[in-house]
């Protein structure tokens, strides 16, 4: 990529992200809000190299497997905020911050590399009153956790943690809300619950739900979070390092919490970061923290990275999958990226 074209792209993306909140707020689904499932044909362009202009595959503890740039003729595709696999690396459920559920399946080639998305469909969400809604502030879904046929969704603007029975192609209204423990006055309108994740079932929180806000800060500048289920319920914070905000998270098998973070400035554009929060630091009244695993800027195939899930491949490899939110902007992309997460003590291969 030439210097000129990179600067042009940087400026275009910076403008898109700067107005992204307006775009996603102003955007409305085609037509009136209606119940029912929309089936979308998804075109997927393979992303074979994560770092632009390089065949390198190893980035710290992460090994790039492959990625996809997703497009559709339907204007409803986009604003993908969070997702979880229902079957490891295959069938998934997700939420969009424009008030949609989405479902689909990752297709793979003979080598197991992502090659496309099949059976993709979307359905509008129900608001508090049990009606489908086009009003973003009522259905601004940002975080998602899944267990035992129940989807737990974190909403911002109208801050709440709501639970829904999972019935692909027939999602209904919420079956109830959970107490999120954090005082509502501490939650910023557009900086609410981006992470909703079940802790490890055999760990100190016994599979209970952990929620983390995007950028609702306490007096010390740390990010409000809470343990809202299990034996150790209570409010804690996550240390905020630099200008990164939290967009999603999932627990690793060892009990640590892997967080996806994002930053943006007009000078440098968008960045993403993966941070491992030590599981033992997640406790009522504590400031949870841990090491940064990897940071990527616009020299990599990233966009507005919003969603993360952790899963185990059939060969036992620990996998990390990411998605981006395009804000329904023609200047941004819907991406799916997939990595192997190696033990940090493993030696790295030499670059190609």
Q: pLDDT tens for residues 114-124?
A: 999 999 999 99
pLDDT in the model for residue 345: 58
Residue whose token pair is 């993403």: 272
The full set of domains in the chain, from first to last, is 3-341 (2.120.10)
Q: What is the β-pairing status of strands 80-85 and 209-217?
A: unpaired
Task: Tell me how far the alpha carbon of residue 276 is from its chain's centroid.
Answer: 15
Residue 101: strand, helix, or coil: strand
pLDDT one-digit tens code per residue, 165-188: 999 999 999 999 999 999 999 888
Q: What average pLDDT does the segment 67-79 reach?
A: 95
Residue 5 has pLDDT above 70, yes or no: no
Q: Give pLDDT, residue 36.
A: 86
Do 243 and 228 meet the contact criterion of CB atoms below 8 Å apart?
Answer: no
User: Does residue 19 register a pLDDT over 50?
Assistant: no
Q: How confident is the model at residue 267 (pLDDT cuts 50, 70, 90)?
A: confident
* Average pLDDT rounded to a whole number, residues 146-157: 95
* Cβ partners under 8 Å of residue 218, min gap 6: 186, 224, 237
pLDDT reported for residue 35 = 64
- Tell me the per-residue pLDDT of 294-330, one tens digit each, with 9 for 90 and over: 999 999 999 999 999 999 999 999 999 999 999 999 9
By the 10 Å C-beta count (0-12 exposed, 13-18 middle, 19+ buried), 224 is classed as buried
Strand positions, DSSP E, 86-185: 91-96, 100-108, 114-124, 141-147, 150-155, 160-165, 176-178
Residue 4 has pLDDT above 90, yes or no: no
Whether residue 3 is predicted with pLDDT greater than 60 in this model: the reply is: no
Q: How far from 170 is each of 123, 136, 235, CA to CA, in Å?
A: 8, 21, 34
Q: Is the pLDDT of residue 213 over 70?
A: yes
What is the average pLDDT across 181-196?
A: 88
d(CA 234, CA 225): 9
CA–CA gap between residue 177 and residue 125 (Å, rounded): 15
pLDDT over 90 (residue 37)? yes
* Global confidence as pTM: 0.89
For 93-97, the CB contacts below 8 A with 24+ separation are: 93/144, 93/146, 93/151, 93/166, 93/168, 94/144, 94/307, 94/323, 95/125, 95/141, 95/142, 95/143, 95/144, 95/153, 96/122, 96/141, 96/325, 97/24, 97/136, 97/140, 97/141, 97/142, 97/325
- Cβ neighbours around 314 below 10 Å, total: 8
Round the average pLDDT of the chain to a whole number and report it: 88
pLDDT of residue 242: 87
């Amino acid at each position: 990529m030439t210097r000129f074209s990179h600067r042009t792209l940087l400026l275009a993306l910076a403008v898109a992200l700067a107005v992204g909140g307006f775009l996603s707020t102003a955007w409305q689904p085609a037509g009136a809000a209606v119940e029912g499932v929309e089936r979308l044909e998804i075109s997927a362009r393979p992303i074979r190299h994560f770092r632009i202009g390089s065949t390198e595959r190893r980035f710290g503890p992460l090994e790039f497997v492959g990625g996809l740039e997703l497009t559709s003729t339907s204007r409803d595709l986009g604003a993908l905020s969070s997702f979880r696999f229902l079957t490891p690396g295959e069938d998934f459920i997700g939420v969009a911050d424009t008030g949609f559920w989405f479902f689909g399946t990752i297709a793979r080639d003979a080598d197991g590399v992502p090659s496309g998305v099949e059976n993709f469909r979307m359905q509008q969400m129900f608001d508090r009153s049990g009606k489908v809604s086009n009003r973003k502030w009522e259905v601004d879904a940002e975080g998602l956790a899944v267990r035992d046929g129940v989807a737990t969704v974190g909403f911002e603007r109208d801050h709440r943690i709501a639970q829904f029975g999972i019935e692909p192609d027939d999602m209904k209204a919420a079956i109830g809300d959970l107490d999120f423990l954090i005082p509502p006055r501490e939650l910023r309108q557009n900086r609410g619950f981006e992470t909703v994740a079940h802790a490890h079932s055999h760990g100190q929180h016994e599979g209970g739900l952990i929620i983390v806000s995007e950028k609702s800060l306490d007096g010390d500048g740390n990010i409000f979070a809470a343990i809202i289920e299990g034996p150790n319920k209570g409010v804690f914070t996550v240390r905020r390092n630099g200008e990164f905000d939290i967009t999603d998270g999932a627990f690793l098998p060892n009990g640590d919490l892997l967080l996806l973070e994002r930053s943006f400035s007009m000078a440098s554009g968008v960045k993403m970061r993966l941070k491992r929060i030590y599981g033992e630091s997640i406790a009522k009244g504590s400031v949870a923290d841990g090491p940064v695993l990897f940071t990527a800027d616009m020299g990599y195939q990233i966009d507005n990275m919003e969603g993360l899930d952790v899963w185990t491949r059939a060969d036992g490899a620990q996998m990390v999958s990411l998605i981006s939110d395009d804000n329904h902007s023609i200047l941004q992309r819907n991406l799916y990226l997939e990595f192997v997460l190696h033990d940090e003590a493993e030696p790295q291969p030499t670059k190609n």
